Chains A and B, each alone.
Chain A
């Protein structure tokens, strides 16, 4: 028989003022297994804890029930307390008679006392069934993986590398830099994006602890916190990176020209290319889909002109498996596909462009060398209309959320138009102007006052062509009248959406994503960079729309979390996990797809059966991955799976106790 001690706390008058604690302790004496019960003014205080420790020794207790506040408050305190008296921490159970009783039934003292007795009885019944649990240790590999080489990924990698950890950065494009490399100026300071980004790119590439793996993608993620085995597909670059110096002769001689993705299709690049002049690594890659050699087998000019013999048409994709202690996802965003807004004429009229096109148009190294020229005929536009919330805040056609950055970048674009084009007029159709951020509201006010951008509150219903003008028809809801503006160019502020394959990556890693496919954080307030999968962290716009300062801040936060994880060579794991009773497991595998953490696999065991050795399948729980939700236990048809500390037996014992 177990020897249970019950300790009822008054919590000053918080509990004692409503619940008759002495009576609860007295009643508890009669519960099966209870050998000692006492009440005290403050159980969590030093004397209160001493009381528990003393009783454990003197009464030879092997289970402790503390009836006090919520376990969310003091479970760690009392676990430590019993542990210091030589008892296993998981032999302690708590009955919540404050938040769940005295505070919510303050007018019904007798009923509250009765309820407290029931809660204690349930806790006693469970405690008797508690098994000693030990935290296990698992080794931690001191190497981090950052997925995505945009500003968030670069920042996280630099912070980690500076803290002395080895970091691999996987980037799917041929160069790191991400979206920030395409942007011209940054709000609210209007300093040039490349001027602040490229030094960081150089730092990342030259850092001894950072290893850039560009033109590569994550293929598969196995393992768990401290020990992720990640398979990375290094796409065939067709260039021998160890030989190439990036002289660029091949790029100038290549005969096939295709639209440049980096320039938003506003200019051409070659089939052998670097996305932009400051690319890192500044070594080209052959776009096999558009290369004449790969299409027809003839050409090979690049190979002929390369004096270093760096072109290698026979290169193949390479799969590399590396073990990492932690993963940071920083995959960033894409622009919303706004072709659903047919009324804005995107695709039909070349002069209806998106914000990112505009960034390239005003960029000094862009296709127009920084002169704002409209794409259709190269004329300098005088009247420019901006339409905000294209895709954002529009549940019917786009996304319900606010993309957060558009108000500010549209204000920036308006400023730049007025600065660069004399006598120009800027009209901005908006729903609301949201400028939360340091210096943002001031910037917006300057745009309106100094740069005289005309803000029109209302939606645009149609954009259509008349001569060489675009007529923008909309509504001014503040004046309650229809407006028509003759525009030379229309810029759409399209929503920020996650990368197209974000959900696939989330499934590979085993992290959650919301209905818009942004990765979900562990807690929206208190764990914004963690995920529910231990050892995986989030940085930047892959978690939700963010501007540059926020992405950088979150990247540094994620890096700090990873530093904490990698600073130790071993880590403790929570012992409340599922366990398999192999003797009754039938190997049906129903639990495998139910587990949200991919923690359950089937394994083959061999055993003796009537003198023969037979092999059969049983479920196998990976303790490093299991987070202890218990979903599998309910799915198990042979009841072979059970959750430690919340076993079927324990829960049923509580149910029984309640009804006795």
Chain B
């Protein structure tokens, strides 16, 4: 077997067992609390997400998102309070602007912009949290593994 064949073999194997890995940056006040409520309401969603708590969605540096993609995460969701409802008054407005720029950057570098999403989920919107996570997991599953940015190309 040539090296190429080994790599292809390996790729196949990985792809068969591949499950989307999605990182969720959740703001403490709305989305993290919304995710808590989803749990309290026992609303089920795919176990592909890992929630990282930040004080405000405005704390999420685009650098974190790029880093996550480099490390092999397949999708990133930044979720916070609805515009106008930010606990810190204006944090999510910055998130929104940064999000738009990020999407442009992702298109520019040739990565599917759907891998990076931004949603407003309040502390009361458990069904919405469930729906967003379910839909996003399916979307990322359809896109397949993130190969474009990850450091250790298989």
Contact = CB atoms under 8 A, between A and B. Distances in A.
Contact of A72 (B36, B50, B52, B73): B36
Interface of A: 70-72, 96, 98-101, 103-108, 111-112, 114-115, 118-119, 122, 512, 514-515, 532, 576, 594, 596-597, 627-631, 633-635, 643, 646, 648, 651-652, 654-656, 658-659
B135 to A, nearest CB: 15
A107 B42 CA distance: 11
A103 B42 contact: yes
Q: How large is the interface on B (under 10, 10 to 19, 20 to 34, 35 or more residues)?
A: 35 or more
The 7 A-B pairs of least Cβ separation, nearest first, read A99-B39, A630-B59, A659-B71, A629-B88, A103-B39, A111-B47, A631-B58
B111 interface: no
Contact of A104 (B23, B43, B60): B43
Contacts of A103: 39-40, 42
A595 B89 CA distance: 10
Given A627-B88, A634-B98, A646-B55, A100 B61 contact: no
A652 B89 contact: no
A158 B60 CA distance: 45
Given A515-B84, A658-B71, A100 B39 contact: yes
Given A633-B59, A658-B23, A596 B90 contact: yes
A127 to B, nearest CB: 13
Given A108-B47, A630-B54, A596 B91 contact: yes
A115 B47 contact: yes
B45 interface: yes
Contacts of B55: 576, 628-630, 643, 646
Contacts of A659: 21, 68, 71-73
B104 interface: no
B53 interface: yes
Given A98-B39, A631-B58, A655-B64, 17 more contacts: A70-B36, A70-B39, A99-B35, A103-B39, A104-B39, A104-B47, A105-B45, A107-B44, A627-B88, A631-B94, A635-B94, A643-B55, A646-B55, A651-B54, A658-B52, A659-B21, A659-B72
A648 B61 CA distance: 8
B121 interface: no
B54 A631 contact: no
B23 A655 contact: yes
A105 B59 contact: no
B40 A596 contact: no
Interface in B47-106: 47, 50-56, 58-64, 67-68, 71-73, 84, 87-91, 94, 98
B32 interface: yes
A544 B44 CA distance: 38
Contacts of A122: 50, 52
Contact of A655 (B38, B71, B91, B98): B71
A616 to B, nearest CB: 25
A70 B33 CA distance: 9
A606 to B, nearest CB: 31
Contact of B91 (A72, A115, A629): A629
A412 B45 CA distance: 54
Contacts of A515: 84
Given A634-B98, A643-B59, A106 B47 contact: no
B141 to A, nearest CB: 14
Nearest to B54: A646
15 contacts: A70-B39, A72-B33, A104-B42, A111-B47, A115-B47, A514-B84, A596-B89, A596-B90, A629-B91, A631-B88, A643-B59, A651-B61, A655-B52, A656-B71, A659-B68
Nearest to B59: A630
A658 B44 contact: no
A655 B67 contact: yes
A340 B54 CA distance: 45
Contacts of A576: 55
B23 A100 contact: no
A72 B23 contact: no
Contacts of A635: 94
A629 B56 contact: yes
Given A596-B89, A596-B90, A629 B58 contact: yes
A587 B42 CA distance: 49
A656 B55 CA distance: 19
Nearest to A98: B39
Given A630-B59, A634-B61, A100 B54 contact: no
A594 B94 contact: yes
B154 to A, nearest CB: 14
A628 B29 CA distance: 13
B152 to A, nearest CB: 10
Contacts of A106: 42, 44
A514 B38 CA distance: 28
Nearest to A110: B47
A101 B86 CA distance: 26
Nearest to B45: A104
A512 B73 CA distance: 37
Contacts of B68: 655, 658-659
A10 to B, nearest CB: 16
B33 A633 contact: no
A509 to B, nearest CB: 12
A643 B94 CA distance: 17
Nearest to A636: B61
Contact of A100 (B51, B59, B87, B98): B51
A71 B52 CA distance: 12
Nearest to B51: A100
B94 A634 contact: yes
Contact of B58 (A111, A114, A514, A634): A634
A631 B64 contact: no
B23 to A, nearest CB: 6
